[in-house]
Amino acid sequence: MLKHKKKFFFIVVSIFLLAGCDSSNVIQSSHTHFFDHYFIYPFSLLILFIGNTWLHQSVGFSIMLVTVGVRMLLAPLNILQYKNQLSNKRIQPQLQELKEKYKDKGSESQQQYQREMMKLLKENGANPLMGCLPLLVQLPVFSIVYYAIRRIDEISASSFLWLDLGHADPYFVLPIAAAVATYLQSKVMQSDVEGMNQSHAVLSRILSSLMVLSFGIFSPSGLVLYWMTGSLFMIFQSFVLKKVFQEKVALEAK
């Protein structure tokens, strides 16, 4: 459940950060603001270059392609996270034994439980903080995409299918699709989380999907497109990682 609380935190922080930002100023190459000049403007140029050069001036397809590129760059972190998840899954029986051993709620008993638990995690290469790292890296990227869409005229004024990328989807199709993709992503990733209460798992999937839906209804379509594409990529990546590591475990068992 903790992992999905982190995801909720990421979504909520993103909403508050973006809602409280001034997106009225158009970004130009002459801007000297560090974040604008070195991150948002170059990122927007990349989106426009790919769209205009390779994708027949389709900024929407370019956002999707750039999203896949960003996710591939973050793949090593996700692989580490997945390995960490498998390590946590492997030592669940031992963690459960420790819980039974230190059922006493006294402070001394709980301190000893914490020491032995951390020792067990360290010996098995399981880092409880590893789940935070990909989310922390995603947050600034998410902000860059948001500002590139809202503050670069050529992107915000672009159309993709029925969408105006700088404005919310009037038919709510894209937010619903993003919410469904988020639900499926959570379901696929939860399948490898050992010991997770099923009712909590379902609740976390529903809540995260509803948050994405609420966020997507009022957000620029380009940003929701970025989120949905990222979720679909993560679903694909999860299946690939699961297959690769299952084969690896099978080979080691022979």
How do residues 67-100 score in pLDDT, each as one tens digit? 999 999 988 888 888 887 777 777 777 878 877 7
Helix ranges restricted to H, the chain: 2-19, 34-35, 41-54, 59-73, 75-90, 92-101, 107-123, 132-151, 153-156, 173-190, 198-218, 221-253
Predicted confidence (pLDDT) at residue 148 exceeds the cutoff of 70: yes
Q: What is the pLDDT of residue 19?
A: 43
Answer yes or no: is 223 within a domain: yes
Q: To 10 degrees, what angle do helices 75-90 and 59-73 make?
A: 50
For the segment 97-112, the average pLDDT, to the nearest whole number, is 74
Answer yes or no: is 74 within a domain: yes
Rounded Cα–Cα distance for residues 218 and 254 (Å): 53
Answer yes or no: is 102 within a domain: no
Answer yes or no: is 115 within a domain: no
Residue 40 is classified by DSSP as I
- Residue the block writes with tokens 């860059």: 144
Q: How confident is the model over 9-27, as pLDDT tens digits?
A: 455 555 545 444 445 455 5
- Residue the block writes with tokens 């029925």: 162
Q: What is the pLDDT of residue 222?
A: 92
Q: Which residue has the higher pLDDT, 14 or 105?
A: 105
Q: Across the chain, what does the average pLDDT equal?
A: 79
Answer yes or no: is 122 within a domain: no
Answer yes or no: is 101 within a domain: no
The domain in which residue 193 lies consists of 2-11+31-88+138-253
pLDDT band for position 123 (50/70/90)? confident
Q: What is the pLDDT of residue 196?
A: 55
Answer yes or no: is 125 within a domain: no
Contacts of 227 (CB under 8 A, 6+ apart): 178, 182, 212, 216
Answer yes or no: is 246 within a domain: yes
Rounded Cα–Cα distance for residues 236 and 116 (Å): 36
pLDDT band for position 173 (50/70/90)? very high
Predicted confidence (pLDDT) at residue 233 exceeds the cutoff of 80: yes
Total domains in the fold of the chain: 1
Q: What is the pLDDT of residue 20?
A: 40
Q: What is the pLDDT of residue 71?
A: 92
